[in-house]
Chain A
Amino acid sequence: MSNVEQEDVETFRQRARSFIRNNLQPISSDALVFPLRNVRNDDEELTAVAREREVQRMLFDAGLAGICFPRKYGGQELTPAHQRALNEEFDGYEYPSRLQAPTLSPCAAVLLDFGSEEQKLRHIPAILNGEEIWMQFLSEPSGGSDVAGAQMSAIRDGDEWVLNGSKIWTTGAWWSDWGLCLTRTNWDVPKHRGLSVFILPIHQPGLEVHRIEMLNGSKEFCQEFLTDVRVPDSDRIGGVDDGWTVGTRWMFHERMLTNSPLVTMPTGAGRTSVGATFVHAVAQEAGRASEPHIRDYIGETLMLDIVERELQRRIGDGLATGTMADQAAAVGRLFSGVAATRIRTIAFEIAGGAGAAWTDDDGELAFSGSDFLMRQVSCIGGGTTEMARNVISERVLGMPRERTLDKDIPYRDVPRSASSRT
């Protein structure tokens, strides 16, 4: 750590508050609760992305970006407590939501853990000032839960690697800049031992980005097709065939998301929460905010938000002090996924018939039906809640691992789908 004296949390908070109030637009909380609503056409989406890059740049210039990143990479080198204060101050204001996950974590987090000095100096400042938006190229059409079963192939050719295959379910890849990509570099060893990680620009010859329509009409989901994409060896992260060492931390950062000190995520500070404010607004729109059973839902929402906040804090402290193992991050991931589905159900319930059929005059209620249809997103994206349950039971509680058929055989010989079996 440098010898610059550290700004105390309260001074920092005041500085953040006055910057946010003087420079940023107030927004309604539902934009935060439901980031995947289908409400913008492509032009509007690109405008929103450009504004977020601009806001990120403003934050960077104001010394409010990269709170827990080292100074030498453009960060502030402050503490998770400072980040929490910032999260509280952002409540009710626009913030660069598209630049948080997966750009700052897991992607930048993995760069910090495994990147060379040169890689870090090249990319982290560019991430913090809004120039680079990153995607994680992890899931493949053949499967996302079995991360180590990646089939994207990378073959060495002198100082370069040649990548072929497909990644899928990236959100917003069409307007993003860089990908952190898990590949298979060796098919003759068991699956965990033949992986390598690379970084690559998304917009380049040989890399096609296709848009996928989600069930609510949003086209932010993408699939990438890589055909003979050349990546210099200097853009490899971690050792050759040692990609699972990187992958393990990568998964950790992904599960930590709602708790990561690297990421900005507005939270209510005392007496409010993003979820409860939203549910209360739905209830008011429905004219039912004073009905006792609707109030029960409002109270439940505040409870879930507060309990989640305290749980994440406990896990954060536990990980920081070493009283909890890294795998405990899955506890927070499971809670946040399930709580989010509950809040969507509550909003749908409160909306009544307007959740099923609505007009443009129904305001907030008009979204509740399609939000409900998209409910499970919070339990799938970022690794499913089933995988979190596996991790908790097997790694935190030490229960016997599920039997797998891919352990000690070359990945080449592992059955990869019912149809591919011989």
Chain B
Amino acid sequence: MLLALTDDQELFRETTSKLLGEFVPAEVLRSLQDDAIGFEAEYWRRGADLGWTSLLVGEEHGGGSLSGQGLVDLTLVAHEFGRHAAPGPLAVTNVVAATLSEAGGSQSNGVIGDLLTGRSIATWCFSEPRPHDRLDNGCLDIRVNGDEVVLNGVKRPVESGHGASHLLVSGRTGAGYSQVLVPAGASGMTLATMQSVDLTRRFSVVTFDDVRLPSSTVIGEIGCAGEQVTRQLRRVIAILCAESVGTMQAAFDMTVEWAFDRYSFGRPLASYQELKHRFADMKTWLEASHAVSDAATLAVALGEPDADELLSSAKAFIGDFGSELIQDCVQIHGGIGVTFDHDLHLFLRRHTLNRGLYGTPEEHRQRLADLVTMTESAT
């Protein structure tokens, strides 16, 4: 999280944190384990009242940011989500709302209102099953047929597919990208529930079998949505990174406290140099994660040319070193660290989930290598 927040941002972060503490403390998260949706409608509405879903939406649609950089403000919420392992489709709902707001049009306008009030949620159908599960090789087919579009293909994992009023589906029309806003219950669309490492985030396999919709459901230009998709991907990764840093912060803070409280051989764990040095490493990874996550978010918000290298660096670093950090927190807790009753796994779960979504560390390192190769062959 940013080192220096404005007063508005600090107040916003704090009210978010309070609301999360009130609505979704750890025991509530545990009780939601078998809930089909993973959160209560009232919780989401209250968050939306605070502005959780309006930061990336233009003022003409009733949205607005605190600082002029909505994505930066949103990562404050994401950070708090991480610190509380909070439920709800924060990243995807916001990313869809942003695209709808940018695209405008009657189709979008109708949906945005409900997203802003939290009455409904939206999701993004991006990733696909193997072997089309890389960031750039999806193949769901979107065909134009008269004044209709026809969708064929499979998306997974789709977050909050059950419960979303609308699904923004990215697919191919020939070589180009198209995006279609599919309403829940569309004929030919089926959802199958998936299992996940997270306690409260829900995922489905969504199959599109000749799903026919009026062409008014196309968001942006047919065959020309590549930039839209790239923007969504950048935003979703920025939000996930901020959330993951929040999980690292929570696990780290808990474990530092534990190290002071817990004694062995008559002295606190925090007095053993072997453990102190591991805490020093963890602190270094944690600060580095904050730093690169914030820098990536700002670069995306400002549309800087180095946004992609910052984002992939953030996603790869936070993925790898965040796992090391949280797993070491488990280690330093000893036996209690691997129990369901202890809170540590809530953060481990959320971090692990985010690590695996929208490109693993390995995939982002490949992307970074692409950037190096491009630059080096240009010089």
Contacts and interface: CB of A to CB of B under 8 A. Distances in A.
Interface of A: 270-272, 276-277, 280-281, 289, 292, 295-296, 298-300, 302-303, 306-308, 310-311, 313-315, 317-318, 321, 323-324, 328, 330-331, 334-335, 386, 388-394, 396-397, 399-400, 402
Interface stretch (B126-134, B156-164, B225-233, B265-273): B265-273
Interface string B363-374: 011111111111
A386 B276 CA distance: 10
Nearest to A399: B270
A399 B259 CA distance: 9
A397 to B, nearest CB: 6
B96 interface: no
A396 B283 contact: yes
B288 A271 contact: no
Interface stretch (B24-32, B42-50, B304-312): B304-312
Contact of B365 (A300, A386, A396): A300
B366 to A, nearest CB: 6
A389 B280 contact: yes
A67 B337 CA distance: 50
A270 B369 contact: no
Contacts of A311: 284, 287-288, 291-292
Contacts of A399: 259-260, 270-271, 276, 279
Interface in B117-153: none
A386 B277 contact: yes
A399 to B, nearest CB: 4
A280 to B, nearest CB: 5
Q: How large is the interface on B (under 10, 10 to 19, 20 to 34, 35 or more residues)?
A: 35 or more
Given A296-B362, A302-B309, A400-B268, A271 B276 contact: no
13 contacts: A296-B365, A298-B368, A300-B365, A302-B371, A303-B365, A307-B288, A307-B313, A311-B288, A323-B3, A331-B284, A334-B281, A397-B256, A397-B279
A296 B268 CA distance: 41
Contact of B3 (A299, A306, A317, A397): A317
A299 B280 contact: no
B290 A392 contact: no
Nearest to A292: B366
Given A299-B366, A310-B288, A399-B259, A394 B276 contact: yes
Given A303-B316, A318-B3, A323-B3, A295 B369 contact: yes
Contacts of B256: 397
Pairs of residues from A and B, 5 with the lowest C-beta to C-beta distance, nearest first:
A299-B365, A393-B276, A299-B368, A389-B280, A392-B280
A317 B294 CA distance: 13
Most buried by B among A277, A295, A306, A396: A306
Interface string B317-338: 1000000000000000000000
Nearest to A300: B365
B22 interface: no
B60 interface: no
A315 B287 contact: yes
Contacts of A296: 362, 365-366, 369
Nearest to A318: B3
B77 interface: no
B3 A389 contact: no
Given A311-B292, A397-B279, A402-B273, 16 more contacts: A277-B376, A280-B373, A299-B369, A302-B371, A303-B316, A303-B364, A314-B294, A321-B4, A324-B3, A334-B281, A392-B279, A393-B276, A393-B280, A396-B283, A397-B276, A399-B270
A9 to B, nearest CB: 15
A-side binding surface: helix, strand, loop or mixed? helix
Contact of B316 (A299, A334, A391): A299
B295 interface: yes
A331 B3 contact: no
Contacts of A289: 373
A321 B367 CA distance: 35
Contacts of B365: 295-296, 298-300, 303
Contacts of B273: 390, 402
Contact of A302 (B268, B279, B362, B372): B372
A256 to B, nearest CB: 15
B264 interface: no
Nearest to A296: B365
B298 to A, nearest CB: 10
Most buried by B among A270, A307, A335, A386: A307
Given A289-B373, A314-B294, A335 B288 contact: yes
A281 B283 CA distance: 33
B288 A295 contact: no
B283 A303 contact: no
B281 A272 contact: no
Most buried by A among B276, B317, B362: B276
Most buried by B among A271, A281, A317, A390: A271
Given A306-B309, A334-B281, A393-B277, A298 B291 contact: no
B136 to A, nearest CB: 15
B237 to A, nearest CB: 14
Contact of A331 (B260, B287, B312): B287
B283 A400 contact: no
A400 B365 CA distance: 38
A394 to B, nearest CB: 7
A306 B268 CA distance: 36
A183 to B, nearest CB: 30
Contacts of A323: 3-4
B27 to A, nearest CB: 29
A307 B375 contact: no
Contacts of B277: 386, 389-390, 393
Given A296-B362, A299-B367, A311-B292, A392 B284 contact: yes
B353 to A, nearest CB: 21
B260 to A, nearest CB: 8
A271 B306 contact: yes
